[in-house]
Chain A
Amino acid sequence: MTDAAQMQETAAVRQSRVADGLSRFLAEKWGTGVSIEGMVETSAGARRGNVLFDAVRDDGRRQPLCVTYLPTLNIELMKISDEAALIQLAEEGGVPVPHVHFASEEPSWVGGPFFISDRVAGETVPRRVLRQVAADGTGHRIVESLGRAFAALHQIPASKAPESLSRPSEETPAELALTRLAEQIDNLLQPSPVFNLGLRWLTRNLPAPPRRLSIVHGDVRNGNIIVDHDGLAAVLDWEVAKIGDPMEDLAWPCLRCWRFGEDRREVGGFGAREGLIRGYNEGGGHFDAHSFHWWKVLGTMRWGLGLAGQARGHLDGTFSNIVMAASGRRVAEQEYDLLCLLRPRGH
């Protein structure tokens, strides 16, 4: 069965199971009858669901909420309860996030672990985000807010993070990332001398270890943030967070693939990097230009190799569909971006 057929077959069943579970769970927590209304599934992710809903209590009080859940127990990147704890920690540190109300690893409610958070109003679909930002003139403000949000996150003592977060041991975060990248290059179905040139540059230009290790969100970019008419409203999707080098976080939203056509606005299609640096430094962070560039090169390669991995998954049957197949023909975009970043002087 294709994953499309699977998705269609089970969507209705899954939604009613989740509604029933949420209703029972919230009724127990709040001590009143609760009905679940207006459910909208928003997540395109195959691994986990995000459902927006209204919880309506017996007295008529209506609360807009969001549940993030795993359909089964065995596909967690990070334990859902750890992710929820991390979001709460980020909120205490001053990072804009949806407030988390409840988290549970108990599968009997919705079929797998889940957490329930506030539903933050705003836009998340990248091209719609960029249209709205252009209309509202909020691009520069968002860039600076991202800088401040990163600064707030990176100043939280890493020791407070859930212990399950991955972290480097002996090596620096850059060395660890480089080792993983070299493995991905070894797994390519065909040689890519462009990626070998990139690996060579990364190996010979390793950044100094960061002043201190920080909690790194790992995937802040246009598409994982909520933007409202005032600017940045919330940072979402904390499931790949880890302990690492703060510059990795700043570099990631600056990859060209997250600008959605607004190529001259380096930070997510919103604006120039100067605002990001200003927000970050004013918020108490320490921007490092060399390390930032290194992580941008690494991120560009990581995304390119990820696309190649999707094509491999399609071809070997682990995850076959036309989108994964097409990913193989998008690797060249990342190769081009990589070469641009490595341009020798005068070329």
Chain B
Amino acid sequence: MQDRPDTRELLATLGDYLEGELMPALEGPLNYRTRVALNLCRILEREVRLGNSFLLRERQRLCRLLGLGPEDLLPGALQDQVEDLNQQLATDLARDVLPAGFEASAWDALMATTRDKLAIVRPGYDRYDAAEESL
């Protein structure tokens, strides 16, 4: 086991350094790129905290949608399992004919997963729901 600071603490420290010390000393393109780096630090902090539980939820949603059980999962890492399930869903969505209601169920599952992704990469982005913009 590594010594403290742990991953989250180091990412927070790295972000604080970029924001508090480096960015004020930089202008123009370097300031902009450092801001991007800072944002990536904050994303990673949230991913370390939330990423695994979100992957578990994504796997569960996909299994339910595709009618699969634990015995159908690829052996191996959670991330690979989820990627495989997403590939299966992508392939299904390319079929001509789908079971009644499948598209709406897929939408629900994908929306839930996308909201989880946003909670890591862009918290608050899903406050706007474009309700007035549907056809």
| Closest beta carbon of chain B to A331's beta carbon, Å | 9
Given the complex of chains A and B, what is the CA–CA distance between A223 and B54 in angstroms? 35
Given the complex of chains A and B, what is the CA–CA distance between A200 and B37 in angstroms? 36
The 8 Å CB contact of A196, one of B93, B115, B117, is B93
- Are A194 and B128 in contact, CB atoms less than 8 angstroms apart? no
Which residues of the partner chain A approach B103 to less than 8 Å between Cβ atoms?
197, 200, 344
| Closest beta carbon of chain A to B59's beta carbon, Å | 13
Complex interface residues of chain B between 11 and 42 (CB less than 8 A to chain A): 29-30, 32-33, 36-37, 39-40
Given the complex of chains A and B, what is the CA–CA distance between A342 and B93 in angstroms? 14
Which residues of the partner chain A approach B107 to less than 8 Å between Cβ atoms?
197, 339, 342-344, 347
- Are B94 and A200 in contact, CB atoms less than 8 angstroms apart? yes
- Are B126 and A336 in contact, CB atoms less than 8 angstroms apart? yes
| Closest beta carbon of chain A to B107's beta carbon, Å | 6
Given the complex of chains A and B, what is the CA–CA distance between A11 and B82 in angstroms? 46
Which residues of the partner chain A approach B111 to less than 8 Å between Cβ atoms?
336, 339, 347
Complex interface residues of chain A between 284 and 303 (CB less than 8 A to chain B): 289-290, 293, 296
The stretch from A64-72, A101-109, A140-148, A185-193 touching chain B is A185-193
The stretch from B1-9, B67-75, B84-92 touching chain A is B84-92
Nearest to B128 among chain A residues (CB) is A263
Which residues of the partner chain A approach B129 to less than 8 Å between Cβ atoms?
340
Which residues of the partner chain B approach A197 to less than 8 Å between Cβ atoms?
93, 103, 106-107, 110
**Does B100 belong to the interface (CB within 8 Å)?**
no
Given the complex of chains A and B, what is the CA–CA distance between A97 and B111 in angstroms? 41
- Are B128 and A200 in contact, CB atoms less than 8 angstroms apart? no
- Are A339 and B121 in contact, CB atoms less than 8 angstroms apart? no
Complex interface residues of chain A between 88 and 121 (CB less than 8 A to chain B): none
Given the complex of chains A and B, what is the CA–CA distance between A340 and B111 in angstroms? 9
Count B-side interface residues using an 8 Å CB cutoff. Answer: 39
Given the complex of chains A and B, what is the CA–CA distance between A318 and B33 in angstroms? 19
Given the complex of chains A and B, what is the CA–CA distance between A335 and B86 in angstroms? 14
- Are B121 and A329 in contact, CB atoms less than 8 angstroms apart? yes
Complex interface residues of chain A between 239 and 277 (CB less than 8 A to chain B): 256, 263-264, 266
Given the complex of chains A and B, what is the CA–CA distance between A25 and B21 in angstroms? 47
**Does A132 belong to the interface (CB within 8 Å)?**
no
Which residues of the partner chain A approach B132 to less than 8 Å between Cβ atoms?
266
Given the complex of chains A and B, what is the CA–CA distance between A199 and B90 in angstroms? 10
Given the complex of chains A and B, what is the CA–CA distance between A289 and B133 in angstroms? 11
Which residues of the partner chain B approach A332 to less than 8 Å between Cβ atoms?
114, 117-118, 121-122
Which residues of the partner chain A approach B43 to less than 8 Å between Cβ atoms?
329
Nearest to B125 among chain A residues (CB) is A333
**Does B130 belong to the interface (CB within 8 Å)?**
yes
- Are B86 and A191 in contact, CB atoms less than 8 angstroms apart? yes
- Are A191 and B83 in contact, CB atoms less than 8 angstroms apart? yes
Given the complex of chains A and B, what is the CA–CA distance between A193 and B135 in angstroms? 22
The 8 Å CB contact of B90, one of A192, A289, A329, A340, is A192
Nearest to B121 among chain A residues (CB) is A329
| Closest beta carbon of chain B to A21's beta carbon, Å | 25
Interface residue ranges, A against B (CB under 8 Å): 4, 7, 190-194, 196-197, 199-200, 256, 263-264, 266, 289-290, 293, 296, 321-323, 325-326, 329-330, 332-333, 335-337, 339-344, 347
A197-B107, A256-B130, A343-B134 known, 19 other contacts, Cβ within 8 Å: A193-B86, A193-B110, A194-B114, A196-B94, A200-B93, A200-B103, A263-B130, A289-B135, A323-B36, A325-B40, A329-B40, A329-B43, A330-B122, A332-B117, A332-B118, A333-B121, A333-B122, A340-B129, A340-B131
List of 3 A-B pairs having minimum Cβ-Cβ separation, nearest first: A340-B130, A196-B93, A332-B117
Q: What are 19 A-B pairs with beta-carbon distances under 8 A? A: A191-B83, A196-B89, A196-B94, A197-B106, A197-B110, A256-B128, A289-B135, A322-B37, A323-B32, A326-B40, A332-B118, A332-B121, A332-B122, A336-B114, A340-B133, A343-B107, A344-B103, A344-B104, A347-B104
Interface residue ranges, B against A (CB under 8 Å): 29-30, 32-33, 36-37, 39-40, 43, 83, 86-87, 89-90, 93-94, 103-104, 106-108, 110-111, 114-115, 117-118, 121-122, 125-126, 128-135
